[in-house]
Structure 1
Amino acid sequence: MSQSGTLILIMAVAVIAPLLAYGLGRWIPVPLVIFEIVLGIVIGPDVLGVAHHDATINVLSDLGLSMLIFLAGYEIEFATVRGDTLRRSVWAWLAALVLGLGIAFALNGGAVTKSFVIGTALTSTALGTVLPILRDSGDLKGRFGTVMMAFGAVGEFGPIIAMTLLLGGSDPGRSTALLAAFAAVTAGAVFWALRPRPPWFANVIAKTLHSSAQFAVRFVMLLLAAMLGLSYAFGLDTLLGAFAAGLLTRLVLQGAAPESSELVLGKIEAMGFGFLVPVFFIVTGIDFDLNALLHGGRALILLPAFLLLFLVVRGLPVYALAPHDLGRRDRTALMLYNSTALPLVVAITTIGLDEGALTAGEAAALVGAGMVSVLVFPLLALRLRAGSGSEVNPPTRPMHRTESW
């Protein structure tokens, strides 16, 4: 199929996926990402063989991943993610990294790059995928939501840092120096973002929100492009720049135009979840090596093994270090939510495949385990939260904004 034909097919899948999610949601809530990836597999080379992407669609897919990480960075609220909860979340992720690397090295006979790839993937949390589930259930607000945001944010940001240091393809010392330089520049940008904006800035945002100028949207895209370019110039993973851009955007918009920030975010989400993010997940399905998974006995065994390791490596440290004021059921729900992984697993396994560290079967097993985690773990967590007697607040945003996740 031609490039334009494949793109049309991808967008058709992007339209069908929410319809299926909505229809099935009457009986069991299934995250939209599952339908996007599964339908991508169906139209991909291992099933129907009608979709074959090229460099242009690859670029759109990369932009979709960057937008997903950008929006996850935007969700971080500095006022709540701090103090003892933040310290616990950092220690939980560091414990997961040590545990994940240790298990990976033991299982792979000391193969360095493969162990780094697998160990880092096991520490990730799909915060961007879990957030809409939490928002719809009302769990994003209150004490549980605050703790989840802290642990989830570190679970998303930590692996990006680890990817930069361990999988960046350069000397770790040089990578650390470049990361420190990037952090210094980002800190300067945060300082700039926290400074009061002149009155004309908010006025221009308000006056162009419903015009063709769309100043705020263009400004946000400039921030994203600048941070992506900065991370690339420093030789770091561009996902780091995307996450930093999300943090900066929240600071700028809420400081300069708080009354317009929600509307601006809605426009960015429409761009991301209406086009770019679905392309990323559908292309992930197209690239998924189903044959390697189904026809390799080892890969089929690895899938449930990786799923269990998500719980052991990422989940157990979260459960152990969760704040003591959370009950047992809430701690278990927190463990399940944080063990949910997919977007970064896809990114990390892609690096592993590019460097020849992973076989196609191993990559398929990791991604497949991530897909199962997205499907199973949040549903179990929802049931635990529903039976915990915890106070549940109603969602504070319209339902149509969360369905796009």
Structure 2
Amino acid sequence: MTELPMTWVMIPLLAFLAPILASQVGRLIRIPVVVFEIVLGIVAGPSLLGWVTPTAFTSTLADLGLAMLFFMAGSEINFAAVAGRPLRRAGLGWLLSLAAGIILGIVLAPNPTAGVFIGIALSSTALGTLLPVLRDEGELKTPFGVAVTAIGAAGEFGPLLAISLFLSGRNPGPAALVLVVFAVIAVAAIWLASRGEHRWVHRLVTATLHSSGQFAIRFVILILAVLVALSMILGLDMLLGAFAAGVLWRVLLSGATPKDRHVVEMKLDALAFGFVVPIFFVNTGVTFDLTALLASPSVLLLVPIFLVLLLLVRGLPGLFAAPIGATRADRRAIVLFSATGLPIIVAVTQIGVDHALLSSGTAAALVGAGMLSVLLFPLLALSQRNSRTGSAELAPDGTA
């Protein structure tokens, strides 16, 4: 009985300490707070100090955090801005990443099934991690930021489709049919949401914005729950439903006043990044199998191999979406941002380990590479982006 209260206290404590450490270290070098959340989870978890033990309750909260992370990613994508050339070329780049990842995964893995898991993991981009970085740097609305957002959208939504098609336990044919059913329902909901002004929604949002009613937040939770439940009922990955819920909510809120949208977005940021998302990342560290990673030199060697493969498999194809006239420094930054991946890697490896289709050592190596990518690549990308000199900012249409 003592372990459960200890876990309940330690996980919020670790989540509390992470931004403090990030701000202190940030005076010397800027490191995403997610890195500290995962590392603190590893240190306090069973692999090292043993202060925190995974429980069913924390796992449920972590699942909610993962769903909320993808909801936020879906809600923050401005599809009107990335539509057209950026999204088309980003989609092409992702398809090349998936093909290359599966081929290399099959070469590295002991069997083709494990290779598919590795390939999907290597084809991902952590859009939910990149958006706050781009927003903090004032890059979201620049052509460079639009290109990275399109790459991230393809690198997050594409793997979700691949998971639903190849890792759902169904044959690809029936899985595709189920996926089409879900897509029809989700697209119909988004289309209906875009057809009207929804004044009653906006009135309730405004009326309860600063009261105990909090209609906007309750509506978000309902939309998230319905689409996640629908995806699970259909045998699809829940993250697909979470992502679609974010897109739907953005459409519903588009008619609200800028002031109300800003307040709602702040509240959602607080709910997601102040509560459930940190629990997901801390729990990822707690459940990280450090023993399996250190079990043999060959497994440990997979970490730098997977890190390099993220650059080759996911980073280089990201160049397809580079804005016209991008400098060499911007192209290097795009490669690094494209290769930044973690949430999808965690989700894919969990599925593989749970179904005994992926070894715990390989899963730990993939997650370890994802953690290093989040630690290193955005930092290096920003240094490349900020180092460009004598180059004019690109116009919104991608021309110099």
Aligned match of 1:74 = 75
Q: Give the 3 Å change call, closer, same or farther, for CA 199–138 of structure 1 in structure 2.
A: closer
- How much has 1:392 moved relative to structure 2? 7.8
Aligned match of 2:398 = none
Amino acid in the other structure paired with 1:83: G
Aligned match of 2:354 = 354
Q: Distance in 1 between matches of 2:285 and 2:392?
A: 38
Aligned match of 1:14 = 15
Q: Secondary structure at the match of 1:80?
A: helix
Q: Secondary structure at the match of 2:80?
A: coil
Amino acid in the other structure paired with 1:45: P
Amino acid in the other structure paired with 1:76: I
1:155-174 correspondence runs (5 A):
155-174=155-174
Residues 353 and 360 in structure 1, CA contact (< 8 A), matched pair in contact too: yes
Q: 1:326-349, CA deviations, whole angstroms, 9 ceiling, x for partnerless residues?
A: 222111111100100111111111
Aligned match of 1:401 = none
Q: Distance in 1 between matches of 2:393 and 2:48?
A: 43
Unaligned stretches of 5+ in structure 2?
A: 395-400
Q: Percent identity?
A: 49
Residues 88 and 323 in structure 1, CA contact (< 8 A), matched pair in contact too: no
Q: Give the 3 Å change call, closer, same or farther, for CA 372–50 of structure 1 in structure 2.
A: same
Aligned match of 1:3 = 4
Unaligned stretches of 5+ in structure 1?
A: 394-405
Aligned match of 1:143 = 143
- How much has 1:318 moved relative to structure 2? 1.3
Q: Distance in 2 between matches of 1:391 and 1:74?
A: 31
Residues 54 and 287 in structure 2, CA contact (< 8 A), matched pair in contact too: no
Whether 1:325 aligns to 2:325 is yes
Moved more, 322-331 or 44-53: 322-331
- How much has 1:124 moved relative to structure 2? 0.4
Amino acid in the other structure paired with 1:265: E
Whether 1:103 aligns to 2:104 is yes
Q: Distance in 1 between matches of 2:98 and 2:88?
A: 15
Q: Distance in 2 between matches of 1:134 and 1:321?
A: 16
Residues 179 and 236 in structure 1, CA contact (< 8 A), matched pair in contact too: yes
- How much has 1:126 moved relative to structure 2? 0.6
- How much has 1:295 moved relative to structure 2? 3.0
- How much has 1:324 moved relative to structure 2? 3.3
Whether 1:229 aligns to 2:195 is no
Q: Distance in 2 between matches of 1:201 and 1:320?
A: 40
Residues 205 and 257 in structure 1, CA contact (< 8 A), matched pair in contact too: no
Q: Distance in 2 between matches of 1:391 and 1:150?
A: 22
Residues 127 and 156 in structure 1, CA contact (< 8 A), matched pair in contact too: yes
Q: 1:25-60, CA deviations, whole angstroms, 9 ceiling, x for partnerless residues?
A: 011001101110011011111111121121111110
1:44-123 correspondence runs (5 A):
44-108=45-109, 111-123=111-123
Q: Distance in 1 between matches of 2:224 and 2:303?
A: 35
- How much has 1:168 moved relative to structure 2? 0.7
- How much has 1:150 moved relative to structure 2? 0.8
- How much has 1:191 moved relative to structure 2? 1.0
Moved more, 138-147 or 18-27: 138-147
Aligned match of 2:182 = 182
Q: Give the 3 Å change call, closer, same or farther, for CA 134–199 of structure 1 in structure 2.
A: closer
Aligned match of 1:210 = 210
- RMSD value, Cα: 1.5
Residues 194 and 255 in structure 1, CA contact (< 8 A), matched pair in contact too: no
Q: Distance in 2 between matches of 1:295 and 1:310?
A: 23
Q: Distance in 2 between matches of 1:82 and 1:320?
A: 15
Aligned match of 2:310 = 310
Moved more, 89-98 or 358-367: 358-367
Moved more, 115-124 or 130-139: 130-139
1:271-286 correspondence runs (5 A):
271-286=271-286
Residues 138 and 392 in structure 1, CA contact (< 8 A), matched pair in contact too: no
How many pairs align?
392
Q: Distance in 2 between matches of 1:322 and 1:39?
A: 36
TM-score, structure 1 normalization: 0.94
